[in-house]
Structure 1
Amino acid sequence: MTLKTAFRMSVLLSVLLAGAAPPATAADNITVFDWAGYEDPAFHPAYTAKFGTEPDFSFFGDEEEAFQKLRSGFKADLAHPCSQSVAKWREAGMLEPLDTAKLTSWNDILPGIKAMKGLMTGDDGKAYFLPFEWGNTVLTYRTDTVKPEDVASLKAFADPKFKDRVSIGDNVDDAYALASLAIGVKDWTKLTDDQFKQASDFLRAVHKNVRLYWTDNTDLSQALAAGEVDLAWAWNETPTTLAADGVPVAMKKDTVEGLSTWVCGYVRLKGGEGSEEQQYGFLNAITDPAISPYLVESWGYGHSNAKGMAAVDPKLLATKGFADVDSFKANTLFQSPLPTELRQRMVAEFEKIKSGY
């Protein structure tokens, strides 16, 4: 039994032993629009204990897909976008302001995240985004088939020696974070037309090597574990879970160009039909400091709750690369909110690249 499975079972058992509340009615239950995997009960045990039910979950592959689905009328109460998309969703009028007085951990969010311009609040001064997790997209490789010196640079993704052995996400943000870093850019909000072309040309070179554009961690993990790919642009979760299962993989955080850092969290959606009490109950459950150790150890991500992170074993934080949570942006491209026009150019160009154009 893996650590993650054991923790999930213990969470569910504790809820049962505590005596759950009567299940919410279908009309009241909330729907969370999320990335696959985040339905994990270990992320919100306090919610389950209080309401006696799990939220309903619906899933998306990337934030552009989520944006288009919501804009076309899909109904949900909460959603889980990341730093680079929050401004776009807010400007599109999709979000309800947060009542921070109902958020028990609002004042405990890591200072480094609070300081990120345009992330948590809009120009109107209202809060719209509650950070949950943060981490990296980083070069990940099979240690039994790839030598560390062969992946000293992110340019390895375009090296012909890795033809048909590469996987990157079917995710425009991670793709252009990789490409921006590869051409020497760390502030992607200021890409010039020439730099945009260089980044796009790099992704076209990478496309020649791609065996799989992964859409969730399960797809990528299976491909790496089976030896179908040797090199991936992956989230912390992938090498963390694979290493726990004995698969020979490692992260290469010290590439010449660095890595990418992102922050994701939850928003309230306009038109949500579920219970407001349950919406805030979920938001408070996922930011409870008790979640921090599990998120760090089993998923390899940092938690937004400063008190929770401070209570995590320092040795564990060092192992996962979070020894100094205030400097996690060092040598990184932070996926900060992009100008809407630039991101739309990326979306359109990435679709062409994946189609071979």
Structure 2
Amino acid sequence: MNPTKKLLVSVAAAALATTAHAADSDLLVFDYSGFEDPAFHADYVAKHGDSPEFAFFGDEEEAFQKLRSGFKTDVSHVCAGSVKKWVDSGILEPWDSSKIDAFDTLNADLVGQDILAGNEELYFVPTDFGSTAIAYNADEVPAEDVATLNVFTNPAYAGRVTLPDNVDDAYALAYLATGTTNWTDATDEQFKAASDWLRAVHPNLRTYWVDPGELAQLLATGEVLVSWAWNETLPTMAETDFPIGFAREPQEGSSLWLCGYVNLKDAPGSEDKAYDFLNAMLAPNSTVALMDAGYGQANDAGMEALGLDAQIEVGLGPIDAPVLAQLPISGEQRERQASEFEKIKAGF
């Protein structure tokens, strides 16, 4: 969400899952509000004369329940953390990688090695992503303090740090801090180490931030000096001349969140147009529009064409540090992390 992340926290108050944009009735896309922007799928419009039809949902659980109850759509946007649950429910069918024009240039960290090696079926194709790293007040926090994720347990910043109220981002941070860079096969011991680390951080926190606007306010007022934050924080705060730092290369690494599209089983519309839409989302001429909205594009070819400076400016440039990509995990693992995170936030 993502991705997307901005929308994950803002669209809950938007429309429920109702059709809101009638156009090419041969394809229905179930999506977050805002992703109907024709600039995101310009090649589809050029080929078919209009955008596909869109229906919107507020959050992924709402989308999942509506699909399970019989709502018919052709493709749906979803963030990686929910994918395994959707696959296990039987509502999806795999994509055919040979029909995806940009498959060979998709970011390997976002796709996953098992998919690239052909060891797993391709149920989820990443299209949009962002980074999560240490955002900090560069006037108050020396660079050496954010050279490690242990800045979050540093008593010098007690009451001046914050984490997102988001289980995926929180556990991505905790796994990295405890030496795990691939959470798809996390052991019980690694899960316990990550949970124990989050418990150690909890007393140091000012709060768990809920949305980017709240985080911007916490930083601007000086209540918070250090945060685990999405990349959009960098350009947002820089535009206000705030001395924002965004450390993506602490020794333990940083994270990437990702969202993309899934192919619904027994879909009523055109399968060919489903691939046309997906290919349009991944086309290099959609990269700038996605970046302008705060999202990276999963097609490396498109991102590289923008140049390094443009990527760095929004916190999405290449880094020399470990990366934990928030790839799909089992429903059991995600539920276990969610349950434990709620306990930790409550002080247990």
**Taking structure 2 as the reference length, what is the TM-score of the superposition?**
0.75
Equivalent positions of 1:8-87 (< 5 A) are: 24=22, 30-34=28-32, 38=35, 42-46=39-43, 50-51=49-50, 55-60=54-59, 65=61, 69=65, 73=69, 75=71, 77=73, 78-87=75-84
- Stretches of structure 2 that go unaligned for 5 or more consecutive residues are 1-20
Residue identity matched to 1:203: L
For 1:159, the aligned partner's letter is N
Contact 1:30 1:274 in 2 (8 A): yes
Quote the offset at 1:351 in angstroms. Answer: 1.7
Are the aligned partners of 2:22 and 2:53 in contact in 1 as well (CA < 8 Å)? no
Question: 8 Å contact 1:121–1:129 — kept in the other structure?
Answer: no
Work out whether residues 240 and 298 of structure 1, in 8 Å CA contact, stay in contact via their aligned partners in 2.
no
Aligned-residue identity in percent: 42
Return the alpha-carbon distance in structure 2 between the equivalents of residues 313 and 297 of structure 1. Answer: 14
Q: Does 1:312 align with 2:306?
A: yes
- Match of 1:81, SS? strand
Structure 2 residue corresponding to 1:153, chosen from 148, 152, 155? 148
Q: In the aligned structure 1, how far is the partner of 2:158 from the partner of 2:53?
A: 43
- The CA distance in 1 between the partners of 2:209 and 2:38, in whole Å, is 24
Residue 157 of structure 1 contacts residue 209 of structure 1 at CA under 8 Å; is this kept in 2?
yes
Counterpart residue type for residue 50 of structure 2 = F
Which amino acid is the alignment partner of residue 165 of structure 1? R
Determine if contact 2:31/2:57 at 8 Å carries over to the other structure.
yes
2:116, 2:83 → 1: CA distance? 7
Matched residue count: 325
Q: Which residue number in structure 2 is paired with residue 176 of structure 1?
A: 171
Alpha-carbon distance between aligned partners in 2 of 1:222 and 1:271, rounded to the nearest angstrom? 46
Task: Return the alpha-carbon distance in structure 2 between the equivalents of residues 243 and 54 of structure 1.
Answer: 36
Equivalence map 1:247-266=2 (5 Å): 247-266=242-261
Structure 2 match to 1:96: 93
Q: C-alpha separation between the residues in 1 aligned to 2:63 and 2:55?
A: 19
Alignment of 1:290-329 (within 5 A): 290-296=285-291, 299=294, 301-317=295-311, 319=313
> What's the CA shift for 1:343?
2.8
Contact 1:95 1:267 in 2 (8 A): yes
Is the Cα–Cα contact under 8 Å of residues 118 and 337 in structure 1 kept in the other structure? Answer: no
**Cα 1:87–1:224 shift into 2, 3 Å:** same
User: What is the CA distance between 1:44 and its match in structure 2?
Assistant: 3.6
- CA distance, structure 1, for counterparts of residue 342 and residue 140 of structure 2: 31
Q: Structure 2 vs 1, CA of residues 100 and 42 (structure 1 numbering), >3 Å: closer, same or farther?
A: same
In 2: Cα distance, 1:75 partner to 1:248 partner: 47
Q: Give the counterpart letter for 1:57 in structure 2.
A: F
**Per-residue CA distance 1:11-66 (angstroms, 9 max, x = gap):** xxxxxxxxxxxx736987735343x7656564344556732687333232xx6x46
Question: Are the counterparts in 2 of residues 297 and 316 from structure 1 also a CA contact under 8 Å?
Answer: no
